[in-house]
Chains A and B, each alone.
Chain A
Amino acid sequence: MKITQISVFLENRKGRLFDVCSLLGDNNINIRALTIAETESFGVLRIVVDNSDVAVKLLKDSGFVANLTDVVAVEVGDKPGGLASVLKVFADNDVNIEYMYGFVEKFSDKALLVFRFADTDLAQQILAKNDIKVVTEKEIEGL
């Protein structure tokens, strides 16, 4: 099942990341997973939150450029080799990954991996076939 990730355009300026996070924090939005892809001159912040619709509106109203992207959240055991085993499944099945990032969940022995795939539908099929747990939007909210 796809979940929604918010992408935010940020200049490489001091304090921008703080501005985003404090805005979300002040409005009771919880960040589940986060990564920044940077180049020499700008960055794209990617976050998975517990309430994407509210969050993205909040960001836009505050003058940030933000959009929504479909990604897939996979849960694996939080132990060495957890990620590798999932990646092997993808490699064996020719599933291309555009980017990914991970988070360790508190109070649990699971790790959350967020993937953006070249072909999301194919990826989901492969995941289902291999009995790899995918986390739903609702479950993200409740984490």
Chain B
Amino acid sequence: MIWKEQVECAGPADLKNLQSDYLRKLTAYIYDNCAVYKKKIDDAGVRPEDIKSIDDVKKLPFTTKVDMRDNYPYGLFSTAQSEVREIHVSSGTTGNPTLVGYTCDDVKLWSDVMARTLCCAGAEPGDTIQVAYGYGLFTGGLGFHYGAMEMGLRIIPTSAGQTARQLKIMQEFKPRIIACTPSYALYMAEEARDMGIDPARGNWKIGIFGAEPWSNSIRQEIEEIWNMLATDVYGLSEIIGPGVAQECHHKDGLHIFSDVFYPEIINPETGEEVAEGEDGELVITTLTKQAIPLIRYRTRDIVSINCEKCRCGRTSPRISKIKGRTDDMIVVRGINVFPSQIEHVLVGIKGTQPYYQIVVDRKAHKLDEVEVLVEVEEKIFSDEIKELKELQDKIKKEIESVLSIGVKVTLVEPKTIERSMGKSKRIIDKRTL
């Protein structure tokens, strides 16, 4: 089933007309309503009238995370705060998160693209979906919830965690669809076995997995263990949340809903568009959002794009699985983590800036673990175990408050963290994703 056939299977000319129409309206709208964007567009030497077709998007300036950070909280919005129906956040690079907002129409848009996502993955009317993405300020849980509501599906909003309960629910209510991070799916398989449940006879038939990068070999593992179809969903809060792109059952690229999220693949160094099929950085323009539309947002995700019509019938271009990042952000348990966030916390500890290192690992079928190694130097050393433990706990608590995930903090002896050119290697990622 295709949720919005008219758009999802549109011919190239129709699609282009639609996108061009949206872009003209968007440019005028954002120019009139957002001072920051007005300046950006002026500085680029462009006038809204210069934007006649979607191809003219190249004339417009890029938007980056730094723009969002610098204009925290509402500087990049194009509506008054009173029009904002809902607020969500994404990880920031330092202490402040990135703020995103939705008007009523934006929520309708989100519900629509999420319904498209669910159908693309194979959901059918009457299905039950277990939403095991976290509900809250991150967009995963509520995004799927809205999409399922739009489709009229039966929703079990388990949110993340409490694995024993997740599995009991799977057994009792037989939801055909599970939405969660791929690493959690593997983790639940382990717990299932411990509970005497055979995952291969589990009730989940379709998985919609995302929020973290995962390879085809992990996909194979999940499909074998759970005897289900494992599909990839892509999204980012800055754009809308989940619902930007989704794999159909052919698993040959993720359909990006280009009528509302216009993609460009660029060379991250030069900013020039790369040829179809070549790797580059994904840049997205939100053509119809109202609260905080973004022009040419640099996602930092590296993908390639395929514009051929898919066997499923959809004509929306397909992006590959995420191949890497152009910055040092990592994803841990579905949450974006910037090493600079941790640095920001450590600077505030006792007036020192201790050397630190972040080690990320994932033991077979376990969840991601983050360990932050902090070198003990004289200024922070105390003879009393209690004080050292308090320091350890304080650092842990502060980091967790900024990252929103649990971490382990280990105090280590000085000079044990590898230095290179005076700076320590900030992240060691031991995972094979």
Whole-angstrom CA separation of A37 from B414 in the bound complex: 19
Q: Is the interface of A mostly helix, strand, loop or mixed?
A: strand
A11 with B413: CB separation less than 8 A: yes
**Cβ-defined partner of B412 (8 Å) among A11, A44, A116:** A11
A7 contacts across to B, CB distance below 8 A: 381, 383
A65 contacts across to B, CB distance below 8 A: 376-378, 381, 413-414
B414 with A41: CB separation less than 8 A: no
Q: Is the interface of B mostly helix, strand, loop or mixed?
A: loop
Number of A-B pairs whose CB atoms are under 8 Å?
A: 50
**Cβ-defined partner of B385 (8 Å) among A11, A39, A63, A67:** A39
B382 contacts across to A, CB distance below 8 A: 67
Cβ of B388 under 8 Å from chain A: yes
B414 with A67: CB separation less than 8 A: no
Cβ of A98 under 8 Å from chain B: yes
Given contacts A39-B385, A44-B385, A98-B384, contact A67 B413 (CB under 8 A): no
B365 contacts across to A, CB distance below 8 A: none
CB nearest neighbor in B for A16? B413
Q: Closest approach, in angstroms, between the C-beta of A56 and any C-beta of chain B?
A: 11
Whole-angstrom CA separation of A60 from B383 in the bound complex: 15
Q: How many residues of B contact A (CB 8 A)?
A: 18
Whole-angstrom CA separation of A37 from B384 in the bound complex: 9
Q: Closest approach, in angstroms, between the C-beta of A13 and any C-beta of chain B?
A: 8
A44 contacts across to B, CB distance below 8 A: 383-385, 388
Identify which of B383, B385, B416 gathers the most chain A CB atoms within 10 Å of its CB: B383
B385 contacts across to A, CB distance below 8 A: 37, 39, 44
Q: Closest approach, in angstroms, between the C-beta of A62 and any C-beta of chain B?
A: 10
A69 with B376: CB separation less than 8 A: no
* Chain A residues with a Cβ under 8 A of chain B: 5, 7, 9-11, 16, 37, 39, 41-42, 44, 46, 60, 63-67, 69, 98, 116
Can you offer 17 A-B residue contacts whose CB atoms are under 8 A? A7-B383, A11-B410, A11-B412, A16-B413, A39-B388, A41-B410, A41-B411, A44-B383, A44-B388, A46-B383, A64-B413, A65-B377, A65-B378, A65-B413, A65-B414, A67-B381, A116-B383
